[in-house]
Amino acid sequence: MKVLVTRRLPGGWIERLAEEVDVEMWQGEIPPPKSWILERIHDKDGILVTLTEKVDKEVIDAGKKLRVISTYSVGFDHIDVAYAKSKGIIVTNTPEVLTDATADLIFGLLISVARRIVEGDKLIRSGLWDKPWHPEFMLGKEVHHSTLGILGMGRIGRAILKRAKGFDMKVIYYSRSKHDVDATFVDLDTLLKESDFLVVTVDLNRETYHMLNYERLRLMKRTAFLINASRGPVVNEVDLIRILEEGKIAGAALDVFEREPLERDNPLTKFPNVVLTPHLGSATRETRERMAEVAVKNLLLALKGERPIYEVK
């Protein structure tokens, strides 16, 4: 069997894959151009991709023998899953193994923006910490005992909830359905109006694209913060910039953007009350190796006609 792999992955898992099947792999640091995939996929039984490669109708149609698409990510918005399924192609992903790492990063972002950690660091490095301790210097927002709003209550939402309990936070959430969790289910408007910290954990799909637009964001408290580490396009970035310019929320912490990498001169980079990280949710050595293990095992199992560990339904 032959497979195409679009990126090198940590942990020696591609070498193990190569013991069982013929592997053709892109070696570059940046993602392969689509033409590289199109030229090679015609005789491949499977493809292992990351979130930077679009697997659309054109790619799927070019994969004449394609039976499995394994993505090295929990998100699958880069894959036309419905079309793949209509052609009997199995799509797999890597949830669960990255839940805790992502929830940790989200909590880090939340605390950083609330307690002005990045701003303080920049102040010291730029030589501007020139006065001794002062009772009203760089005051932030308290995290403990505040209200955390979680948009979406999947695995990552639950992991954030667990962490929030340790901070004695009141937790409210909105998702498509109620869950058996120790948090209060509210409607979307209430979530926006009552949260001190609003954390986005929903998938990107047709329903959630630009779900947080100007009309919705302006329902948030002026003292509230938005934290997004799911997918950039869930938030309308232009609207968020306007909300920040108008001072309608206290700040934001963002790990994901409408276009990645974020352009150097993007207005988001100008706000001191915005913390930015370059899509690091799952970026720990341990998690990225576990993701590689799952992505490779998913691919091999599905190619052998067995049930993969995680299939996108």
Q: What is the CA radius of gyration of the chain?
A: 21
Catalytic, 39? Answer no
Catalytic, 279? Answer yes
- Edge-to-edge strand order for the sheet containing 90-92? 22-25, 2-5, 46-49, 68-71, 90-92
Q: Using the 8-state DSSP alphabet, how is residue 255 labeled?
A: S
CA distance 223 to 182: 25
To ligand DGY, the closest distance from the beta carbon of 275 in angstroms equals 18
Enumerate helices (H) and strands (E) in the chain, giving the number of each: 11, 12
Catalytic, 289? Answer no
Contact (Cβ atoms closer than 8 angstroms) between residue 74 and residue 94: yes
CA distance 167 to 93: 32
The residue among 212 and 312 lying less far from ligand DGY, judged by its C-beta, is: 312
- State the catalytic residue, choosing from 78, 158, 279, 290: 279
The residue among 45 and 80 lying less far from ligand DGY, judged by its C-beta, is: 80
The residue among 109 and 169 lying less far from ligand DGY, judged by its C-beta, is: 109
CA distance 259 to 254: 12
The residue among 74 and 275 lying less far from ligand DGY, judged by its C-beta, is: 74
To ligand DGY, the closest distance from the beta carbon of 228 in angstroms equals 11
The DSSP bridge pattern shows strands 170-174 and 68-71 to be unpaired
| Contact pattern from residue 18 through residue 57 relative to ligand DGY, giving x for each residue in contact according to CB under 6 A and a dash for the rest | ---------------------------------x------
Judged by CB under 6 A, how many residues of this single chain contact ligand DGY? Answer: 7
Contact (Cβ atoms closer than 8 angstroms) between residue 77 and residue 204: yes
- Stretch 233-292 residues interacting with ligand DGY (CB under 6 A): 281-282
- Stretch 69-108 residues interacting with ligand DGY (CB under 6 A): 73-75, 98
Catalytic residues: 231, 260, 279
Which residues bind to ligand DGY, rule: CB under 6 A?
51, 73-75, 98, 281-282
